[in-house]
Chain A
């Protein structure tokens, strides 16, 4: 192995990721342990946690994800340039398969069953796929973003898979695609004028789409965060219970395994979309803001890797991954405190789920690879 790879390997970032992931496993354990309504001691809770199926599974995902991430980080990311067409096509096929043979859960068709024992969520992997393929497209020699026509290529490139995801329907992930694309194009030199026009145009299109494309229940879900009490027993319930959990956590929190909102099942989707509410309730403002700060550190570090990348391909990968994480962080945490709509986006690395964790691990593996290979020449 190249000595430079080891020398440049970003162990700090790796450890940060590991810390967040293991913390996620712990909180998932706390949210799925049987605790008699939150009346067990910490040690008793930790013992009982070991028999939580979610805890075990997430731990396996973390181990597997880390293995994949480390392997990926040691391979020069430029190796993937050759495979972008298969990757892109494979991704499209998977997304199409979801439309054809996927099964529904929670009102959307997002999963396909693999071999009957593992449910794959292709949209999670699609995000990584689009980061890498769009980065290749944008890093192509002589690519410019001077005219509106120049924007058409990346737009078409991202638009196709995004449409498939939007039709699932998975509004949240489609918006992640926009965020990723926006981030990469911005760093690639998108003109301010274009940015302004696209922003305004996007906003107007969103308003029109809100009224003419979305189904009424989607509309309801989207705006309910402005007044969750209006639908207390429906969508509002999740938001209110999440706010109750976070608010009741107070400064120091109730302590792990002791949050009543969590342990008495008032929190819906607590180990997946609303994992942050559990953190807020059981670890309080201290735990929640510390989590956010570690997250901030990780994302800033990824951007930093992007700044130091040896080529624009690596740079775009880092910008895409970091932007994806910022966006998901904002939307997911914002949802739990009712400043963002409920969109069902997981919190990367923390929410329970194999697809989400693996996809994020792969994305971070690429980032680590960019960092490790910043001094190596490709040829």
Chain B
């Protein structure tokens, strides 16, 4: 018996040893063999990642003026919390601080990156057009009423309003919450406000719950005041998951300067800013930096327990340096604005609200100034192109389409400024000689159509130079008729003015293949050459993305020229003195530059170089010759001479050097609205700048010359007061 219990205790001791051995073995497996895996888990346990937003690259003029930059702003969001209870608690705590509803991010941007496409779309104002279903039924409303009623009478009154409120709520799903208030009767204001608060919380809650990008926080409020940032940071330990993100906000320090060309930005997916217009869009890949990562040590309830550190530093975007001369841009902008005002106030041109100025270096293709009126301030948050807040109508209520750059997205018939092209084409093809005289009778019937001079004046037998000086329609109409359509359009092509459907889609396709804008440019040229086209739209200018609207304009243009089944010879006559066809001021600037520089087509460009945040040049753009036209210098000299003759009087008579220029008065197709043009270059002997001015509804071309004078004065440093000449 004794032996038996002895043996059995020995067995128990062996079992005990075995148990401990098993435990030690397992510990060895976990702690020594699998250590790395568990260590990683422990590390990721303790850190909540926050994005460090890279500032977007800035945009500078050639003289170093900052046109686009960033200022710090703070967004408030919540990091992913796994427990729904924690989430709800965090939201209601957060909302206690975000009492100003204007701070809450409830605009289209939130929808677009929260709702998996479900909530994309327009929105107006910060509270937005909300398409979330709110889960508010009559029961919820009645509960709110009971909670917020101080007297029974009030409770009763408010309850009667429930069906009415429900009706409004159903509408709220597609509209602004704040619209609830004005419609509600006085007696139920309190309830309505309570409902608003409930809806707001509901909306935020849904936003947070629907957020699927768990590795980054969902943004609840944008651009909160700094005092609130401090306050929230002090309370960080109370609000699990609180994420305060420094989100650099895009600003345009010089407001309206180059507004159309700069474009604008919008919030992209996952704490990014993307360009969606103009330079911001076209150079987005350079301007966009690379976001970094900050790690915040947290405890098990996701509350911060230490100072954050940067795990992965953000890399700022590249800076763009433009060819634009800020001073010249400013002068041109003011001159255009003032002259339009003069036209309206002193000359009875009430429709004169819009215009454009392009100043280009004819020896390089650099764009020195590019102005559009009416102008706008990029700092304003217009949500869509057709925002109602946009100053987009003149006092008569006519749409101004403020958003379009009239310099490169807008076409007008060039009027008499086109005549150098007709003249040069006729000389080059031998349809006229410089000395041949043509009888100008003031009105003539050519190719079956009756053509008048401006004001019907007759100039008698005139040669090329004289015809240009008096701007004879008859003379150039005759030349057009002699040359015919084919020859005229050949020269339109040579001057880079052909309307070609802009390959907007090509740009999109190129984007999908992730090509750089330089590669895109060559693809564009290749594509166009395949089609037998020698030039690009807008004379090869591709630094700024074109919009859909522009594409539409071009299609219209090409239909005019090619697809139109019936083109009577008389159309060529009209086209020869600048009617029927339409061109952008930028195309005209390229055309004038080619006249000035002897026929070299430089690609017009606005971005001169790109530097990284250390100031090192990443990419530099040099003048690029698209084509040398190879005009006969004698013929070109005749045209230049005639332009000089045409621009020797008026406001230009006291200039210390000679210049070349030509006025134009153009009528829209099928409309008798008159647009005022002036094109020219200076100095005449050794051109440094080419200038194109368009004033819509501006009447006589001469009315644009004061603007030209102001630009020349500024550029060449002539500061004498010039009296206005009529």
Contact = CB atoms under 8 A, between A and B. Distances in A.
Interface of A: 36-37, 39, 183, 186-189, 233, 241, 243-251, 260-261, 264-266, 280, 284-285, 288-289, 292-293, 295-296, 299-300, 303-304, 306-307, 312, 315, 319, 322-323, 326, 329-330, 333-334, 337, 339
Task: For the complex of A and B, list the 9 residue pairs with the smallest distance between their C-beta atoms, beginning with the closest.
Answer: A247-B38, A248-B42, A285-B31, A264-B299, A37-B305, A296-B20, A266-B300, A250-B35, A265-B300
Contacts of A330: 19, 23
B23 A292 contact: yes
Given A264-B299, A292-B24, A250 B9 contact: no
Interface string B290-311: 0000000111110001100000
| Chain B interface SS verdict (over half) | helix
Contacts of B23: 292, 329-330, 333-334, 337
Interface stretch (B10-18, B176-184, B197-205, B660-668): B10-18
B566 interface: no
Interface in B1-40: 1, 4-6, 8-9, 11-13, 15-17, 19-20, 22-24, 26-28, 30-32, 34-35, 37-39
B9 A187 contact: yes
10 contacts: A37-B299, A37-B306, A241-B300, A293-B24, A312-B5, A315-B5, A319-B9, A322-B12, A326-B16, A330-B19
A337 B16 CA distance: 18
Contacts of B32: 250-251, 285
Contact of B31 (A247, A293, A315): A247
B16 A303 contact: yes
Contacts of B39: 247-248, 250
Given A250-B32, A326-B19, 15 more contacts: A37-B46, A37-B299, A183-B12, A186-B8, A189-B5, A248-B43, A260-B43, A264-B45, A280-B27, A288-B31, A296-B20, A300-B13, A306-B9, A322-B16, A339-B26
Contacts of B9: 187, 303, 306-307, 315, 319
A23 B486 CA distance: 102
Contacts of B306: 36-37, 39
A237 to B, nearest CB: 9
B31 A261 contact: no
A277 to B, nearest CB: 11
B83 interface: yes
Nearest to B26: A337
B82 interface: yes
B12 A295 contact: no
Contacts of B17: 296, 300
A309 B378 CA distance: 95
Interface of B: 1, 4-6, 8-9, 11-13, 15-17, 19-20, 22-24, 26-28, 30-32, 34-35, 37-39, 41-43, 45-46, 82-83, 297-301, 305-306
B38 A243 contact: yes
Contact of A326 (B15, B27, B28, B83): B15
Contact of A265 (B11, B27, B38, B299): B299
Contact of B38 (A248, A307, A333): A248
Contact of A249 (B31, B43, B298, B301): B31
Given A265-B301, A289-B27, A319 B42 contact: no
Nearest to A248: B42
Contact of A251 (B24, B35, B300, B301): B35
B46 A264 contact: yes
Contacts of B1: 189
B338 to A, nearest CB: 65
A284 B45 contact: no
A246 B38 contact: yes
Contact of A295 (B20, B34, B37, B42): B20
A247 B37 contact: yes
A131 to B, nearest CB: 15
A266 B45 contact: yes
Given A296-B16, A303-B12, A330-B23, A187 B35 contact: no
Given A244-B41, A248-B35, A337-B30, A329 B19 contact: yes
Contacts of A241: 45, 300
A315 B1 CA distance: 13
**Which of B38, B299, B305: most chain A CB closer than 10 A?**
B38
B27 A37 contact: no
A45 B11 CA distance: 44
B35 to A, nearest CB: 5
Contact of B12 (A243, A246, A261, A323): A323
Contacts of B41: 244, 247-248
